[in-house]
Amino acid sequence: MRIIPTLFILFIVTSSRGANDEAAAFAEDRPNIIFFLTDDQRNDFLGCTGHPLVKTPHIDKLATQGVLFENAFVTTSICAASRASLLTGLYERTHRYTFKTPPLAKVHTEVSYPALLKKDGYRTGFIGKFGVGVRKGAKDSMFDVFIPLRRSPYFHKQPDGSLRHETEVAADKAIGFLRGAKQASVPFCLSVSFNASHAEDGDKKNHFPYPKAVAGLYKGVKMPPPRLADPAVFEAHPEFLKKSINRERYFWRWDTEEKYQHNMRNYLRMISGIDGAIGRVLDELKKLDMANNTVVIYMADNGYYAASRGFAGKWSHYEESQRVPLIVFDPRLGNARRGRREKQVVLNVDIAPTIVSLADGRIPGGYQGRDLSGAINAVAGGAGRSDFFCEHRMDHSTIPKWEGVRGERFKYARYFEQDPPFEFLHDLENDPMELKNLAKDANYRAQLDRLRSRCDELSAKYNQQAKDDSRRALQKAQFGILAQDQHGGAEEAISEALALDPESADARLARADLHEKAGRFGKALTDLDVLVEKLPGIDQLRQRRGVTRFFHGDMKGAISDFNVYLQRNPARAPHHWQRGLAYYYAGEFEKGIKQFEIHQDVNSNDVENAVWHFLCVNRIRGLAEARKGLIDIKGDARVPMAQVQKLFAGKLEPDDVIAAAEAGDPDADELRNRLCYAHLYLGLWFEAKGDIKQSRSHIHKSAIDYSMPHYMGEVARVHLRARKK
């Protein structure tokens, strides 16, 4: 990615023009920036982009005095994903945010354009529809002033009881921010995100509530018909598109002439209302004497069908859904470079790097968009991109997922969840309305194969970046321990890693580790179940889940996993003392006896093995036979394990075990550990003798009073829960 410093641009421009020419490109190094964003507005719904009726004089003036990008697109046509791309300079395939997904990862919000500008001394503000879920603390790191405004309803009650349209409230708040920025005397970056011109979905009669100031516009004016209104255009679509939400909402708003005329007038009024609000903000800039150093950007978050093709919304691959207006007005430009119409293809992912560059900041290497400052200044603009990746990944029953590539001449899209996947191929040069699908035309097979391959390439590229970001997030949670820094806890880091790469086995294992350390074995099993299902050939996952099931109290499930593991790894059977424990708590005492006896052949110095063998024999044959068959252990040096062995052999009393645990001068942690062991085995001893009251008292001390975060400490808690049942 090429970064063009402001001073470098200044040098080129001033040296290529005469000394007596108009003002140099940049009056100051660090301009103010206002980014206006609208909702559901395709590129041709402005006066300056050719709409025959809509009145947008202030936006049109920005275009005539700035730069109008005629080929601006969004990479995902839905507000949530597109707004995340605008903030982060990343494709949805990488940032992974849309509706119903986890919040946008901190690894991305920390390098969003407002976060970078705030760190660099800018006063940053946001007003309006945010539309992006972020993690705790992220908004504070991005914005000095954050004023969310919602529609539903569009009219907000004011302190005096009156109602004021959200668009006008946004302008009020923006003006207040500008006045505060004037007093602060530092450069500012203000993002004003209108809810308009999004329909009010909950109101099936008044779909497009408009500000009162524009109520008189378009009265009695007949709206031109939607393009591609011929029913044959709609009927040519595959069934899954004909039954999509785009068609469902068509019947809400556009399916009769009366509805169409009423709703289109109101839709245009909403756009004119936005224009009026922008005019007020720009007027305030002039009053505050800040207009000469404030760059203004105008864009929409996605396109809009507005009855074209018999559709209502966006979401799919056609131009109406993807194309949006983009205007950049830089008052520092000389007259010769104003009023230009740039042809190169630009994207929503270009906004973040462009704003960072305009603020003379350092563009992060991970950004996938391009800095447009060269094109804005008509220097070093380059030839632009020859194609771009586009997609829609939201989980929704009536919004088909797709991915594709739009090139200079051909567009390819595949709806990959259809069976079989359904492909489109359009020749934009010979068929700009995208009415012909050439995917099955043998004459275009070479183009189809090339774009299929290109789609695979770009999809893999952006997906890999998400995986790399996931691994970086996971590095902050090694062994469930995170350094104490601004990123928060290990759980948050692991959640970020999974949000970035839901397929990450390492992240799921790390989260399972974290849950187990906190005793949340049920939650750990949620991740382990997914891993066992997705990676059935990895034997160790079965073993791992078996242990977690044991700690969760699911003995039959634990035995099932242990058995699968040992069928595949029979040499490990003698070592598998854990299966013997599960047999004991599942009531399969004979199997437990056999397991502990074969384990004795590989570990003859383990008092635990002798004790649980004793317990299994006791359950079947009684205490005398259990004592007679007690496995002789001589080499277990742990305190007080030698005394535990003699207790079960009938050679010592319970008080001797406690005395051994407390003997010497152990530090607090060592004493706690010894007592955890001592009370566990005393509890087991009294249970074997049938003294349930004393057994429970000792087990409670081991599991709760002297709780230890190790295997036998957890076994004490397993035993306590099992006996409570």
CATH of the domain at 245: 3.40.720.10
Q: What b-and-e string marks burial along 540-554, b requiring 16 or more CB atoms within 10 Å of the CB?
A: ebbbbbbbbbbbbbb
Give the lowest-confidence range in 91-95, 136-140, 631-635, 640-644.
Answer: 631-635
Question: Same domain, yes or no, for 551 and 666?
Answer: no
Question: Same domain, yes or no, for 362 and 485?
Answer: no
Q: What is the pLDDT of residues 123-171, one digit of tens each?
A: 999 999 999 999 999 999 999 999 999 998 999 999 999 999 999 999 9
The pLDDT of residue 185 is 87
Q: What is the pLDDT of residues 230-288, one digit of tens each?
A: 999 999 999 999 999 999 999 999 999 999 999 999 999 999 999 999 999 999 999 99
The verdict on residue 195 lying in a domain is yes
Spatial separation of the C-alpha atoms in residues 507 and 96, rounded to whole Å: 16
The Cα diameter of the chain in Å comes to 111
The verdict on residue 286 lying in a domain is yes
Spatial separation of the C-alpha atoms in residues 358 and 354, rounded to whole Å: 6
Question: Same domain, yes or no, for 554 and 643?
Answer: no
Question: Same domain, yes or no, for 666 and 552?
Answer: no
Torsion of CA 628, 631, 636, 639, to 10 degrees: -40
Q: What is the pLDDT of residues 554-610, one digit of tens each?
A: 999 999 999 999 999 999 999 999 999 999 999 999 999 999 999 998 888 889 999
The pLDDT of residue 477 is 65
Last residue within a domain, chosen from 545, 568, 591: 568
Q: What b-and-e string marks burial along 495-508, b requiring 16 or more CB atoms within 10 Å of the CB?
A: bbbbbbbeebeebb
Question: Same domain, yes or no, for 374 and 280?
Answer: yes
The verdict on residue 405 lying in a domain is no
Chain-centroid distance, C-alpha 642 = 55
DSSP designation for 176: H
The pLDDT of residue 28 is 54
Report which residue type is found at 122: Y
Spatial separation of the C-alpha atoms in residues 661 and 657, rounded to whole Å: 6
The angle, 0 to 180 degrees and rounded to 10, between the axes of the packed helices 668-689 and 654-662 is 170
Q: What backbone phi and psi angles, to 5 degrees, belong to 532?
A: -65, -40
Question: Same domain, yes or no, for 131 and 243?
Answer: yes
Provide the CATH number for the domain around residue 546. Answer: 1.25.40.10
Q: What is the CA radius of gyration of the chain?
A: 34
Does residue 271 contact residue 197 with C-beta atoms inside 8 Å? yes
The verdict on residue 66 lying in a domain is yes
Last residue within a domain, chosen from 382, 410, 425: 382
Give the structural domain span for 338.
6-17+33-382
Spatial separation of the C-alpha atoms in residues 47 and 64, rounded to whole Å: 11
* List of residues 6+ apart from 389 with CB closer than 8 A: 75, 91, 93, 403, 404, 405, 455, 458, 459, 462
The verdict on residue 451 lying in a domain is no
Structure tokens at 225: 């018909």
The verdict on residue 295 lying in a domain is yes
Question: Same domain, yes or no, for 560 and 651?
Answer: no
DSSP designation for 134: B
Question: Same domain, yes or no, for 549 and 645?
Answer: no
pLDDT at 371 over 80: yes
Question: Which residues partner with 299 through β-bridges?
Answer: 37, 326
Q: Is cis: bond before 185, omega within 30 of 0?
A: no
The verdict on residue 604 lying in a domain is no
In 3D space, the residue among 149, 189, 174 whose CA is nearest the CA of residue 284 turns out to be: 174
Last residue within a domain, chosen from 568, 603, 622: 568
Question: Same domain, yes or no, for 208 and 327?
Answer: yes
